[in-house]
């Protein structure tokens, strides 16, 4: 059976060049903290990779901390900035207890913030417009003397909307508040420049940009005050204890080097495929809604609501025909709750339930889109014929 992978926002396959570098590095077992030559070899590989990650986002190598996943990077910022431990921060310099974020963040941002809320922090959960866009004016209005952190994602994983993060970062800077952006879905797809964006923290994750799972990074602007969450040894400037994942880090470095080299060409190609898919669906299938911003959107992401039917049934039928997509985000599938992102852009529950995310990547071809457009209309028609909600059945 033909296999068509359209779930690249959930995870990406390994890039063949990343796979090759991994194969070549399998024997590199030294501990990067050891002082002998085994250790030095590993240290050099880690530092080379750090340089490559830094180059991709226009940072300096010393500003990059390696972590195990995007979720860890996000937790490190949120818990590390708000830490109230007088061992890390003196009584006088304990941070304020107000955080600003949006209603459409990834659970790895929302859940640590909800935990702080339960511990007494005040949180402003900013609404978004019908495209999923945060209004920078609302961010500025929400800032108080107690605000210690603003966290707004660079691009949304479910609907692809690109947020005005540079503008929000300038507002945060003006008010002396730290600004974090979860750029896990944006790095490798958008031009990410931490100097231009003026962010204090930026999270990225290996498995969203053709490196393996289990490795990620966090950019930290020099001079900002953050406490470690994973306490241990002196690794990663004391901000993330634990022996470095040398192989993962090497792979992430390679993936970032490739992204810097190929990003523009890949984006052009993927955008064409996305547009072909979007137009094809609109042409062939009635009663659909395209979610997300019409222009300020990730080239890789196409969120479509198919009225009157369930996303899960669409997903399973497509899967049986060899097409892999997702409903909402992978992390919230498996629950019956509709996606918080789709609800936040104003979709009623029943429409949120009928939404499919197609997410494209570098391996997709015209044939993948042709095949999807050949299979999808029949799947939708069949499900609608069985749906009591479909007007034709009433
Ligand atoms: N942030 C966003 C926007 C994501 O899409 C994801 C993963 O889906 C994450 C964070 C978490 O990344 P990881 O899977 O590396 O923990």
> DSSP labels for 67-102?
ESSHHHHHHHHHHHHH---TTTS-GGGPPPSEEEEE
pLDDT in tens, 341-382: 999 999 999 999 999 999 999 999 999 999 999 999 999 999
b/e map 370-380, b = 16+ CB within 10 Å: ebbbebbbebb
Cβ atoms within 10 Å of 127's Cβ, excluding its own: 13
Interval 30-39 mean pLDDT: 97
Q: Tell me: do 184 and 308 sit in the same domain.
A: no
Q: Tell me: do 269 and 148 sit in the same domain.
A: no
Kindly give the distance from the C-alpha atom of residue 272 to the centroid of ligand 1, in angstroms, as a whole number.
25
Residue 136 — pLDDT band, cuts 50, 70, 90? very high
pLDDT score recorded for residue 210 = 98
Residue 337 — pLDDT band, cuts 50, 70, 90? confident
Q: Domain ends where: 201, 233, 258?
A: 258
- Residue from 10, 68, 205, 340 whose mutation best tests the ligand 1 pocket (most atoms within 8 A of CB): 205
Residue 330 — pLDDT band, cuts 50, 70, 90? very low
- Residue from 157, 189, 292, 339 whose mutation best tests the ligand 1 pocket (most atoms within 8 A of CB): 157
Residue 12 CB–ligand 1 contact under 6 Å: no
Domain residues for 278? Answer: 4-11+263-393
Residue 152 CB–ligand 1 contact under 6 Å: no
pLDDT score recorded for residue 331 = 46
Q: Tell me: do 32 and 107 sit in the same domain.
A: yes
Of 31, 7, 41, 2, residue with least CA distance to 361? 7
pLDDT score recorded for residue 334 = 56
**Is 83 a catalytic site residue?**
no
Nearest ligand 1 atom to the CA of 73 is 16
Round the average pLDDT of the chain to a whole number and report it.
95
Residue 108 CB–ligand 1 contact under 6 Å: yes
Interval 251-267 mean pLDDT: 98
Q: Domain ends where: 203, 226, 258?
A: 258
Q: Domain ends where: 258, 282, 310?
A: 258
**Which residue shows structure tokens 């402003």?**
124
Interval 138-149 mean pLDDT: 97
């Amino acid at each position: 059976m033909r296999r068509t992978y359209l779930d690249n926002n959930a995870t990406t396959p390994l890039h063949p060049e990343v796979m090759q570098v991994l194969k070549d590095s399998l024997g590199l077992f030294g501990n990067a903290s050891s002082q002998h030559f085994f250790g030095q070899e590993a240290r050099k590989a880690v530092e080379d990779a750090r340089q490559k990650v830094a180059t991709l986002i226009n940072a300096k190598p010393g500003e990059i901390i390696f972590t195990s996943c995007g979720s860890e990077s996000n937790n490190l910022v949120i818990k590390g900035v708000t830490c109230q431990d007088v061992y890390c921060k003196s009584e006088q310099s304990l941070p304020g207890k107000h955080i600003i974020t949006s209603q459409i963040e990834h659970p790895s941002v929302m859940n640590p913030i909800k935990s702080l809320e339960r511990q007494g922090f005040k949180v402003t959960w900013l609404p978004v417009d019908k495209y999923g866009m945060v209004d920078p004016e609302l961010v500025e209005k929400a800032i108080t003397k107690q605000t210690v952190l603003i966290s707004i994602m660079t691009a949304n994983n479910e609907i692809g909307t690109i947020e005005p993060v540079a503008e929000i970062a300038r507002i945060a800077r003006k008010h002396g508040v730290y600004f974090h952006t979860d750029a896990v879905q944006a790095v490798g797809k958008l031009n990410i420049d931490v100097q231009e964006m003026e962010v204090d923290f930026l999270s990225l994750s290996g498995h969203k940009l053709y490196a393996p799972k289990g490795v990620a990074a966090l950019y930290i602007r020099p001079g900002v005050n953050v406490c470690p969450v994973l306490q241990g040894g002196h690794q990663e400037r004391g901000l993330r204890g634990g022996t470095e994942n040398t192989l993962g880090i090497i792979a992430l470095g390679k993936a970032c080097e490739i992204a810097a080299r190929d990003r523009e060409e890949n984006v052009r190609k993927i955008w064409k495929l996305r547009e072909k898919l979007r137009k094809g669906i609109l042409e062939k299938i009635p009663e659909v809604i395209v979610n997300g911003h019409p222009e300020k959107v990730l080239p890789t992401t196409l969120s479509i609501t198919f009225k009157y039917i369930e996303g899960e049934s669409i997903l399973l039928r497509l899967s049986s025909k060899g097409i892999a997509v997702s409903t909402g985000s992978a992390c919230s599938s498996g629950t019956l709750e509709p996606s918080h992102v789709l609800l936040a852009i104003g979709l009623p529950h029943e429409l949120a339930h009928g939404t499919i995310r197609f997410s494209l990547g570098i391996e997709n071809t015209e044939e993948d889109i042709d095949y999807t457009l050949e299979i999808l209309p029949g799947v939708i028609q069949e499900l609608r014929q069985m749906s009591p909600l479909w007007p034709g059945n009433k």
